[in-house]
Structure 1
């Protein structure tokens, strides 16, 4: 098949927060069936921060956080005065921000925009938050493309397609309480694709995103029975898609990809970052205010925004947090090719998070390899109001960065094979565009996954590793990266002392 075959289409199915090591014949027989039909990316990872609304923008832009600008699930917007706190879960707010900025909410073009400029279409069906659903194609209404949420009308467009789907499949189910696994939403978007979106609209590329098992992991634990139950349920819905693909989709030129945006580790020790900063003489708050000198953005990845952004104040802040036992790797704006401007910190460019929206100090909570009660490795300090033993993510532990990647279809080389060559979430968009015969923009930092394609170069691929470290007193951090040709992936980061 030519890489510019006009019959090529794509279906990308995402399982939010699914750890690849939870894939098994017993729990996920349909994902295992896809593995037997395609290629598994066994050394696949997401971006830093390993948060949903940084990772999925990386997926659709093919670019790291520093390129697309979604620096976290929440951030402080300093482009206006006074600065404002932004929660990207809000789809209506994201639309307003994009319009206010003249279409520059994202600092890099997205897959939907690129496809539209080439006369192609992208459809989205998702059960994630309204904001995440919009991020998959934040300009869908501008191009008349389909974007359907399994719960939230404000994230749906066009109205007539939603009406068709509700007439055929049933009314949008309400979002369940966070403590209840979301089964109805996954069923609805699967049926909407199979019964309405594909038969009538035949999008060139479809993103279908199950918002689980992420939420259930956050409220029950990554290996808990309810979480395993919703993983199995999502796998059954995926089985409906795979049945369709084997009967119809494969013959129609659809390449099918299964992904996740990040993994989870287990929170074992609750801490209070704001209290620690207050004890160190700072005046912390969760939103910008006249009496706040450091905004502590809520989340599992630490994002600290200073009112006084001087190097002296940044150094004072880094010195305060690195004395705490919960502090993991720390990043500030670059001083040189390696160091950040504060002693003990690394430059945030090393984790590709150097955007104008980036916090003055970002940090991971210190993580370790302890085994949780469910037999899963990876534990960490955390700062939220939930009990210990629950799933968290955002940092640089390898299990947080580990992500699912399986590709099958007529363009893929050997069925049932495994590729151990490092790859990442930014690589899917360039690969999809390559298969559609569309040039990728220079903003993309990902690479075409030639090694899994029939038409790809099967020569030797140069892979090499590197490490960076920084110290302050007894605190030491180490960042690990790996290069595949000209593309660099973050492998993980640790801290001690």
Structure 2
């Protein structure tokens, strides 16, 4: 039996649960008054477009195929980089491989049940596509804050502009974008032909964490602004015709840590004799992507080169974790340990070294990175506890109230939980979360270790209800 008639999902991109108190009173109260899943976790890599697709499909990256924010195709390594932030590159991926995402999504499952979905997405245009990659075929709606050219349903944009005004400035912090998302949610999505599932993806505090710093006053201010929009959405729901029949889910997709040092990994590789580059050219033997984590993809099928690269990574103090076939790279974790086995997955993945010690402003969590944000700014992608721990609160009709639950949960559980609240099921990697009563079993914790020479790494996972969850990992 359906427990809800409507579901409203609000995502705070990049929000760490330990940074809510004192900054976001509405969200703090919402979590305290309803079910707060404190052990919620991201996926690996903990980057936005991978997280988006896992949330949308209920699947790990090794099943849905969006294996990184940017990646090269193993079947066409000299072809263009797949930049998942761009709609044109995702449509190009469709042409090159026959699919963008390898699994069905929440939107597709809803459509099969004759249900509707509207997404208001304020991240990259690519993220907006990935939240409901078959939106056009499903007859559903996705609005991107970047306008008609950034969505597969551009026909809805003129009506939104007429109601809510011109598209907002993209200045950082994104006060204008956050406020505009609130207007679209309250004046359009929740006011006119409300969909069965309404999703609002706010770009903050992620953007300000990156470019203003986790500890900055401006970041605190934009967190307050996002909290105010959440308050307005809750008020609209409470005053609406489905108030007693609406479930509200508030979550984040990943956390962030402060960047403590910048490393030019490509240059280090080249200095030591590896012909590495970010894009293929006549002098390239290894393709590299970077950030808090990244990939190394040899252009030739060379197991010896993979072994040498893995051992080189383990000798660098800047490297925190290495994932590869342990038969080729002793001391590496198998990519399967982090659900990263797909035809698009790289043979070799690395995570930059991080620590849980206090960084700028006394906020714990710092790490080395390879570029992309100002030194000292926030970053994510790895398995540090403060990158992986996410916000997840659920208010459901007849659901648990004023309860804090440490049962494992992840982004892969959002789609099956939404569908379960609406009275249907979704066969995927995730599970329906304990919205109405606690789990009947306790989670089993598994601490894995691998080492080679002086390099030692650990990975913590948990198991419950036949599912396996990532908790954290790093250099031991």
Task: Tell me the TM-score normalised to structure 1 length.
Answer: 0.92
Distance 2:217 2:455 in 1: 38
Q: Report the secondary structure of 1:232's partner residue.
A: helix
Indicate conservation of the 8 Å contact 2:147/2:157, yes or no. no
- Aligned 1:391-430 pairs, distance under 5 A: 391-413=378-400, 415-430=401-416
Distance 1:183 1:255, change over 3 A: same
Count of residue pairs brought into register by the alignment: 476
1:489 aligned onto 2:469: yes
Alignment partner for residue 134 of structure 2, among 131, 135, 139?
139
Give the match for residue 314 of structure 2. 322
Indicate conservation of the 8 Å contact 2:148/2:155, yes or no: no
Shift of 1:101: 3.8
Cα distance change on mapping 1:251 and 1:90 into 2, 3 Å: same
CA change 1:175–1:152 in 2 (3 A) is farther
**Could you say if the C-alpha distance between residues 387 and 209 of structure 1 is closer, same or farther in structure 2, counting changes exceeding 3 Å?**
closer
**CA-CA distance at 1:252 after TM superposition:** 5.3
Aligned: 1:301 with 2:293: yes
Specify every segment of 5 or more residues in structure 2 that has no aligned partner in the other structure, as ranges. none
Q: Note the alpha carbon deviations across 1:454-485, whole angstroms, 9 max, x for none.
A: xx5x4631311112222121111111111113
SS of aligned partner of 1:84: coil
Q: 1:311 aligns with which of 295, 303, 307?
A: 303
Counterpart among 47, 50, 71 of residue 46 in structure 2: 50
Report if the CA contact (8 A) 2:42-2:51 is conserved. yes
Distance 1:411 1:297 in 2: 46
Q: Distance in 2 between matches of 1:236 and 1:305?
A: 44
CA contact (8 A) 1:280 1:320 kept: no
- Superposition RMSD in Å: 1.7
Tell me which of 12, 16, 19 is aligned to 1:15.
Answer: 12
CA distance in 2 between partners of 1:274 and 1:321 (Å) = 12
CA contact (8 A) 1:331 1:340 kept: no
Q: Which of 122, 134, 148 is equivalent to 1:127? A: 122
Partner of 2:362: 375
Contact 1:181 1:230 in 2 (8 A): yes
State yes or no: 1:155 paired with 2:147.
no
CA displacement at 1:385 relative to structure 2: 5.8
* Structure 2 residue 435 is matched with structure 1 residue 452: yes
Shift of 1:250: 5.4
2:66 aligns with: 70
SS in 1 for 2:200: strand
Q: Distance between the aligned counterparts of 1:482 and 1:121, measured in 2?
A: 34
Q: C-alpha distance in 2, partners of 1:386/1:199?
A: 38
Cα distance per residue 1:154-199 (max 9 Å; x no partner): 22353442111111110112422xxx21111111121112112222
Equivalent position of 1:465 in the other structure: 445
Q: Contact 1:17/1:260 (CA < 8 Å) preserved in 2?
A: yes
Residue 377 of structure 1: how far off its partner (Å) = 0.6
CA pair 51-386 structure 1, distance change in 2 beyond 3 A: closer
Q: Is the 8 A contact 1:59 1:425 kept in 2?
A: yes
3-state secondary structure, aligned to 1:303: strand
Counting only pairs closer than 5 Å after superposition, residues 29-428 of structure 1 correspond to structure 2 as: 29-80=25-76, 82-98=78-94, 101-102=97-98, 104-176=99-171, 180-248=172-240, 251=243, 253-333=245-325, 339=326, 341-384=328-371, 386-413=373-400, 415-428=401-414
SS in 1 for 2:362: coil
Alpha carbons 1:267, 1:381 under 8 Å: kept: yes
CA, structure 1 residues 386+128, in 2 after alignment: closer, same or farther (shift >3 Å)?
closer
CA shift for structure 1 position 100? 5.0
Structure 1 gap segments, 5+ residues each: 334-338
Q: 2:208, 2:146 → 1: CA distance? A: 16
